Chain A
Amino acid sequence: MTTNCTLNGRRTSLQGHPMSRLLDAIRATGLTGTKEGCGEGECGACGVLLDGALVNSCLTPLAHADGAAITTIEGVATGQMLHEVQEAFLECGGAQCGICTPGMVLAAVELLSRTPEPTEEDVRVALAGNLCRCTGYMRIFESVLEAAKRQ
C-alpha cells in the first residue's frame, strides 16, 4: 500500500503494510535519525511530529500517516541553521550517546510550540515519555529552558 504524506516539507509516498510501523517506513527512506529504543511506547526515542503533535512512530500504523505532515529530527533545522533547541542541547550538554536525543528534541520542540515560556515542571511533564540513560536528565531540562529563553 502507498501512504502519501509530507515528510519534512517534501511530498513523499511511503510504501508498506497499513499496519506496519511509521518508524520503519521513515527509516527506510534513509532518514535514520528516528531511533527505535523499546518498540513499545515507553522510551520516546522514535518520537516524530505528526501534524505538529508528538507521537511515538513505533506505535503509529503507517495508514494513520496518510495525508499527514511529518517532522523528523532531520526536519527540525532550517538549512544549516540549527533550531534553538538543538543549539541549546549542544551548548548545555543535553546530548551524550545520542539515542534519545532526536525524541527529546522533538518533544521539546512540541512543548515550545504551545508553551513558549515553560516552567521546569512543564519541561519535566513534556519530556516524561522520553527516557535517557546517560545524562540524568538535568542537562536536558536546562537545555530546553535555555532554548525557551533564546526563542
Chain B
Amino acid sequence: MIPILDGYQLVVPRSLGEALDDLARHPQSRPFAGGTDLMVVLEAGHLPAGRYVSLQYCRELRGIEAGTSGVTIGALTTFTEISRSALLARDYPLLGLAARDTGGVATQNRGTIGGNIANASPAADTPPVLLVYNAELELISAAGTRRVPYLGFHSGYKKMNLGEGEIIGRVILPAPLGAAAASSPSSAASAFSRKEYYRKVGTRKAQAISKVCFAGMLHVDAGAIQDVRIALGSVAPTVIRALATEDALRGQPLDADTVAAAERTLLSEIAPIDDIRSTARYRTRVAANLLREFLTQGK
C-alpha cells in the first residue's frame, strides 16, 4: 500500500561527519540504514512520524577490515557483503550463515548489520552470532566514540543503550575463541575439537522470521568442555546469551548427563512467548532440541 508521508522527513547527509552533526543538532531524529525493516513498518502504518536521517552515504561505515586483534565490520555493511567475505568465512563462519539466512537476496543486498542490531528485534538473525563471538560495538556521535560489549546492549524489548545523537558505527569481532589453544603444542589434534553451530528454525528456509534461532561455539579438550558460548533469538524480550547453561557445561565431560543438565538449565533461563509466529511451548521444545543437536552432532 502506498504510504502516507505527512509528518515524515528523511534527510540524506552525504558523509558520516555531516550525519553526526545533523543528529547532534536534531537529537530526536532517528537513523535510517537500508530500510528493509523501517519501510515495512512504514507501509504497515506503524512507523512513528518524525525526522529520519539516512546513513546511506556514510561510506566510512562500510566494509570489513582485519586488524591486529580481530575484525571490524562497518555498521552499513550489507548481509551480501558479509556472506561473500572470505575473511569472515574463515574466522567467523557463523556470521556468513546467519547473513545468508536473513531474508532473500534482495533483503541481503540492502539490509545492514548495524540496522539488524539497531532494529533491536529479539528475532534478528545475526545478533545471536555476534553474542557468541563476543562482539563489541563502536558507538559514535559528534561528541566522540565509545566501545561497549554487545552483551548487555539491549536493555529490553526493542530497547538499547544508545545515547542522544549516537549511532552504531562498527561491530568489532575479537580474535576467535580457541585460536591460541588450537595452535599451542599441548593440544594434540586428536583430543582437541572446536565446533561452531548455527541454526534458525522458521516456517520456511528462506525469508521467514525465526521461531527460534540458536548459535553456539564449543571447545572440547580431552573429553571435557573447555569453553562454550551459546546465544539464542526469539526466546526472550531480547536476543540472549545463555550464560547459566554455559556454566552448567564448562568443565564437564561431554556426556548424556551433562547434556540433560544443560537442557534443564537452558529451559530455566529462556522465557519464550506465544505470538503470531509460534508458541511458547513449541519454542521451548525446539530450543532444547537445538541445544542437544549442537552438543551431540558430529560427536
Residues of A within 8 A of B (CB): 17-21, 24, 39-42, 44, 47, 50, 53-56, 58-61, 63-64, 66, 107, 110, 125-126, 128-130
- CB-based contact A126/B105 at 8 Å: yes
Instruction: From B35, B40, B107, give the contact of A61 (CB < 8 A).
Output: B35
A55-B9 Cα distance, complex, nearest whole Å: 22
- Decide if B144 is an interface residue (CB 8 Å cutoff): no
Query: Smallest CB–CB gap between B57 and chain A, Å?
Result: 9
Contact with A along B1-23 (1 / 0, CB 8 A): 11101001111100000000000
Q: A55-B110, A64-B56 are in contact. Are A19 and B206 (CB under 8 A)?
A: no
- CB-based contact A129/B12 at 8 Å: no
Set of chain B residues within 8 Å of A64, measured between Cβ atoms = 35, 54, 56
Q: A20-B3, A41-B36, A41-B40 are in contact. Are A47 and B106 (CB under 8 A)?
A: yes
Set of chain A residues within 8 Å of B253, measured between Cβ atoms = none
Number of A-B contacts (CB under 8 A): 97
- CB-based contact A21/B39 at 8 Å: yes
- CB-based contact B105/A54 at 8 Å: yes
- CB-based contact A21/B109 at 8 Å: no
Interface of B: prevailing SS: mixed
- Decide if B42 is an interface residue (CB 8 Å cutoff): yes
* B interface bracket (residues with beta carbon within 8 Å of A): 20 to 34
Residues of B within 8 A of A (CB): 1-3, 5, 8-12, 32, 35-36, 39-40, 42-44, 52, 54, 56, 80, 100, 103-107, 109-110, 205-207
- CB-based contact B12/A110 at 8 Å: no
Please provide the 6 A-B residue pairs with the shortest distance between their CB atoms, ordered closest to farther: A129-B104, A128-B206, A19-B10, A59-B39, A18-B10, A53-B109
Query: Smallest CB–CB gap between B207 and chain A, Å?
Result: 6
Instruction: From B11, B12, B39, B54, give the contact of A58 (CB < 8 A).
Output: B39
The interface centre, meaning the residue of A63, A110, A126 with most chain B CB atoms within 10 A of its CB, is A63
Q: Which residue of A lies closest to B208 (CB)?
A: A42
- CB-based contact A44/B106 at 8 Å: yes
Q: List 16 A-B contacts (CB under 8 A).
A: A17-B5, A17-B10, A19-B42, A20-B2, A21-B3, A39-B1, A47-B106, A55-B110, A56-B106, A56-B110, A58-B39, A64-B54, A66-B12, A125-B206, A129-B206, A130-B104
